[in-house]
Structure 1
Amino acid sequence: MAKTKVDQVNAAAATTTPAVFISTSALNSLITHKSLIGHLQSTLPSHSAIINSPLRHTHQTSPTSSLLLMPSWSNSPSLPYMGVKLVTYFPNNTSVNLPGVHAIYVLFSSLTGLPLVSMDATGLTLFRTACVSALASYYLSRDSAETLVMIGAGSLAQHLIRAHLIIRPSLKRVVVWNRTLEKARILVDELTKEGDRFQGVCFESNVCLEEAVKLGDVISCATNSEAPLVKGLDLKAGAHLDLVGSFTRSMRECDDEALRRGRIYIDNEAAVMEAGELVFALERGVIKKDEIVGDLVELIRGEKYGRKDSNEITVFKSVGSAVVDLLSAQLVYESCMNDQD
């Protein structure tokens, strides 16, 4: 009888084989946006309740930089893992041509405590963040959405674009906006060169943010802006607004009017305590907590309804979670094990 994945993990956990390291290039060969979206859609409803996930530890290491620790673990035989992600945030790295975020993920057996694998979690985070946004879009954006507006052209942007194009194949136009226009143009050129992969999709950059927002059926924001970029009055009927970038109280990617006009969903409860858009809107009474309709797990389970009609504006705010990190690391590790058989 063929071994199940859990059997393989149990066997690995019983040995003292040194943990392997999975680089970004190796990770890219083990998972795809499509496979991770499917994995999260199938595992989040059943596994989120059995995963212990304390609030992330955030430590300010300088006026501009920080260290984040995100632990999680499961004692269930169906998910015999524990893990922790270590993240550094150095936004000024752009001045020395380095990414602002770096991360490592370490996965252990929850049966024996032995380390199983470590991986470059910078790539893992890009994958899981984009796939969470795309999965939310599956429930919240219009089936007939044609134009995706990508605000921000950093390393996460191309992942968000790829994941949204997978989940919403009706998208035929992608408009990229960035404060530095050249970065937007470079991203557009890179995606355009992959014409065989994105057949029928037109990529372009836009110098006017207001004009770009007005075009969007789906608007995805991945910036560290502290001043609202998306104005609610510019959102057209039926738009879906995906907010990814902010994870501190000082960051805001949209104004209050965008929240007033939209039905709001979050990836997890931490969003109302960490995301500047929500924190200050709640503190000033712009919105009430009971106006946040639900979270991603409730959407997948069907416990909360997504989009009601084609004219409704929806908003999804994500800050990331250790639960999704653990499930994403699970897929990478088990895919790696399968490759070794």
Structure 2
Amino acid sequence: MKLIGAEEVNQALTWPALVEAMRAAHRFDEPAVRDMHLASGSGNLLVRSAWFPGRMLGVKAVTVFADNPRATPPRPAVQGSFILFDGDSGAPVAVIDGAAITAWKTAADSALGADLLARQDARVLLMIGAGAMAEPLIRAHLSVRPYSTVLLWNRSREGAEALAGRLGDIPADVTVCSDLRAAIGQADVICSATMAQTPFIPGDALPEGCHLDLVGAYRPDMREADDTALQRSRLFVDCRDTTVAEIGELLIPIRNGLITAGDVAGDLFDLVAGRAGREADTEITLYKNGGGAHLDLITAQLIHDLLDGLPE
């Protein structure tokens, strides 16, 4: 059984390869998935399992401690492991760094969603939030559209400026913004990855034809976009089974009677198959990245395949 660390993961993967692996995997039958979430204070334990029958199966256990980066010394916010099992024998074949899988999976999930939903002429990307996921999300989005401008907004301007400093090699102009509403109005694609529990993205500021990629919320009590944003948008998710009834971004407005589960037009299986998608350049599309467990499995399988044959 291989032990695969974060450095090996980062050396093996590229955004185009992972996005295409995810696209290809959504042409198969839908997998069995199951999630478990425990929380105490600012700490969270996420256990996510998935099984593509006859092909592969695996389970990821990670902790998310939001206060860790502010500790002295700083500690990682996300820690854990993914165990990949052989689909024929059930034998464990690899243990892979869980934080690395989470970062690559999450960003590629959003990039695939944007590739399937954003306008082809999208050239301005707005990144809301400057945490650990912001940089991989920007780089993943750049792999599916040739953005000429990347706008950054964060509650702390210092955080956005630090993020800008890490993006000096990307083929786009990077601008730190102070006015969120104004930045939203300029954007073709808006990606948000924050720990917000109270909605703060104003739906009345969304320009016609934009694509809204919501990443941050992962618990039933978390939301980033307000009711108006949902009402103005055509709604999509990465996986119906692990998003619609489990994450506050959709669960709360469904409970409040603002929308119904039937208002979700499709997930990645529908989008890849061409059963759903953007219907007009003026349409606002909203994609909730729920981080489906099957996406961790797809990522782990690709990592294993790329490193297969190397010494354990």
TM range (shorter): over 0.9
- Residue equivalent to 1:177: 153
Deviation at 1:287, TM superposition (A): 1.4
Give the secondary structure class of the aligned counterpart of 2:133.
Answer: helix
Tell me, in whole angstroms, the C-alpha distance in 2 between the residues paired with 1:103 and 1:161.
Answer: 24
Q: What secondary structure does 2:50 align onto?
A: strand
Q: Conserved in 2, the CA contact under 8 Å of 1:256 and 1:277?
A: no
**SS in structure 1 of the partner of residue 121 of structure 2:** coil
- Which residue of 1 is the match for residue 120 of structure 2? 143
| Structure with greater helix percent | 1
Offset at 1:339? 5.3
* 2:10 counterpart residue number: 28
Out of 25, 45, 63, which is 1:43 matched to? 25
Residue in structure 2 matched with residue 93 of structure 1 by the alignment: 68
Map 1:120-159 to 2 at 5 A. Answer: 120-159=97-136
Cα deviation code 1:31-67 (max 9, x no counterpart): 1111000111112221x43x3222x01122x222121
The question of 1:300 aligning with 2:272 is answered yes
| CA distance, structure 1, for counterparts of residue 57 and residue 249 of structure 2 | 32
Distance 1:123 1:184 in 2: 22
Q: Which runs of 5+ in 2 are unaligned?
A: none
Matched, 1:67 2:42: no
* Partner residue of 1:119 out of 79, 93, 96: 96
Displacement of 1:298: 0.4
Quote the offset at 1:279 in angstroms. Answer: 1.1
Identity, in percent, stands at: 34
1:171-223 residue CA offsets vs partner (Å, 9 max, x unmatched): 1100111111111111111111x1xxx33x10111122222211111000111
Q: 1:11 maps to which residue?
A: none
Q: Deviations over 1:102-130 (max 9, x none)?
A: 22101122322322111112111111111
Amino acid at match of 1:187: L
**Separation of aligned partners in 2, 1:75 and 1:278:** 29
- SS of the equivalent of 2:166 reads helix
**C-alpha separation between the residues in 2 aligned to 1:189 and 1:286?**
41
| CA distance in structure 1 between the aligned counterparts of 2:297 and 2:279, rounded to whole angstroms | 32
Question: Root-mean-square deviation (CA), in Å?
Answer: 1.4
Question: 1:280 and 2:252 equivalent?
Answer: yes
Instruction: Give the superposition deviation at 1:334.
Output: 0.6
1:8 aligned residue = none
Contact preservation (8 Å) 2:80, 2:99: yes
> Which residue of 2 is the match for residue 3 of structure 1?
none
Say which of 125, 141, 145 aligns to 1:168. Answer: 145
3-state DSSP class of the match of 1:325?
A: helix
Which one of the candidate residues 228, 240, 249 is aligned to 2:220? 249
CA-to-aligned-CA distance 1:142-173 (integer Å, 9 cap, x gap):
1111110000111111111111111012x110
Distance in 1, matches of 2:259 and 2:154, equals 29
Deviation at 1:338, TM superposition (A): 5.2
> Which deviates the most, 287-296 or 32-41?
287-296
Change (3 A) 1:41 1:338: farther
**Deviation digits for residues 69-93 of structure 1 (CA, Å, limit 9, x no counterpart):** 11222441xx2x3211001111121
What is the alpha-carbon distance in structure 2 between the residues aligned to residue 72 and residue 141 of structure 1? 28
* Pair 1:190 & 2:166 matched: yes
Number of residue equivalences:
308
Aligned counterpart, 1:313: 284
In structure 2, give the amino acid aligned to 1:95. Answer: R
Residue 230 in 1 paired to residue 189 in 2?
no
Whether the 8 Å contact between 1:128 and 1:328 is mirrored in structure 2 is yes
Aligned AA (1:124): I
- C-alpha separation in 2, matches of 1:53 and 1:228: 28
CA distance in structure 2 between the partners assigned to 1:149 and 1:338 by the alignment: 40
> Which deviates more, 37-46 or 254-263?
37-46
